[in-house]
């Protein structure tokens, strides 16, 4: 069943990860598998996809749901195609990240944790430090870091996204 739902590319990627772990511990690859599946599915996971991962790795479905719901980098509901996370941890906060968040919220007309109606932006509620304290305030958009932000710079970056 999994093979029909997961793309060939995804399966290949998961297989690559599976090689790194002992044969009887396929579940070790669950994070990598979910990451890949989410990436292929416009940035979020569906129950069907999680079930397919469970099937592929020989895990119980609920165990995959647990992992997916635990880690903040996984989305289990549909979200906008550009994932924007503004770091609000201590270093960035001291450098004015609160103002950046407020600005992005106003600009996009949504609150953190929401997506724009046109499906273009998802303003993620970032819970963890993104480990770029030297460049604070910073944000991550689609896995790419943007550092030393100013309000103007934020406008420019967001305006240039598809």
Partner 1 sequence: MDDKKINITVDGREISADKGQMLIEVTDKNDIYIPRFCYHKKLTVAANCRMCLVDVEKAPKPLPACSTPVMDGMVVRTQSKLAIDAQKSVMEFLLINHPLDCPICDQGGECELQDLAMGYGSDVSRYQERKRVVVDKNIGPLIQTDLTRCIHCTRCVRFGEEIAGLRELGATGRGENMEIGTYIEKSVTSELSGNVIDLCPVGALTSKPFRYSARTWELVQRNTVAPHDSVGSNIHLHVKGDTVKRVVPAENEAINETWISDRDRFSYEAINCDDRLHYPMVKVDGVWQQVEWQEALDFIQKELGAIIDDDPSQLGALVSPSLTLEELYLSQKLLRGLGSNNIDCRLKQIDFSEQVSTPLFPWLGQSIVDFEENQAVFLIGSNVRKDQPIINHRLRKAVVNGASVMVLNPVDYDFNFSLHCKSIVAPNDMVSELASVLRAAVKLSNKNIDSSIKKLITGVSIGETHKEIAQQLFNSENTIILLGNLSTTHPQFTLLRTLAGVISKLTRSKLGYLSESVNTSGGWLAGALPHRLAGGADCSKIGLNSSEIIAKKLKAYLLVSVEPELDCWDTNAAHQAMKNADLVIMFSAFQSKSVKDYANVLLPIATYAENSGAYINNEGVTQRFSNAVPPQCEALPAWKALKNTANCLGVDGFNYESSDVIYDEVINIIDEIKRDNYQDWSTNVTSLPKVRGLQRITETPMNMIDPLTRRATSLQNTRDVSDGSIHINTSLANKNKLSEVDMALVYQAEKEVQMTVEIDDRVPDNCVLIQSSHPSQIELGGAFGSIKIKRSKA
Per-residue x/- mask for partner 1, residues 29 to 58, rule CB under 8 A?
------------------x-----------
- Look-up of token digits 């103007």: 152
Contact 121, 113 (CB under 8 A): no
25 binds partner 1 (CB under 8 A): no
Contact 86, 105 (CB under 8 A): no
65 binds partner 1 (CB under 8 A): yes
- Of the candidate residues 8, 22, 24, 70, the single one contacting partner 1 (CB under 8 A): 70
- Of the candidate residues 15, 16, 25, 60, the single one contacting partner 1 (CB under 8 A): 60
66 binds partner 1 (CB under 8 A): yes
- Of the candidate residues 69, 142, 148, 150, the single one contacting partner 1 (CB under 8 A): 69
Of the pair 72, 142, the CB lying nearest partner 1 is at 72
Residues in contact with partner 1 by CB under 8 A are 47, 60-63, 65-66, 69-70
């Amino acid at each position: 069943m999994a093979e029909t739902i997961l793309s060939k590319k995804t399966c290949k990627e998961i297989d690559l990860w599976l090689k790194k772990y002992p044969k009887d511990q396929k579940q070790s690859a669950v994070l990598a598998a979910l990451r890949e599946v989410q990436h292929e599915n416009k940035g979020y996971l569906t129950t069907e996809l999680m079930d397919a991962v469970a099937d592929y790795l020989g895990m119980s479905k609920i165990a995959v749901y647990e992992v997916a719901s635990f880690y903040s980098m996984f989305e289990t509901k549909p979200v906008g195609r550009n994932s924007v996370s503004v770091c609000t941890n201590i270093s960035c906060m001291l450098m004015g990240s609160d103002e950046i968040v407020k600005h992005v919220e106003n600009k996009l007309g949504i609150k953190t944790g929401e997506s724009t109606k046109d499906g273009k932006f998802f303003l993620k509620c970032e819970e963890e430090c993104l480990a770029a304290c030297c460049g604070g305030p910073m944000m991550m958009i689609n896995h790419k870091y943007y550092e030393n932000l100013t309000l103007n710079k934020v406008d420019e970056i967001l305006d240039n996204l598809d």
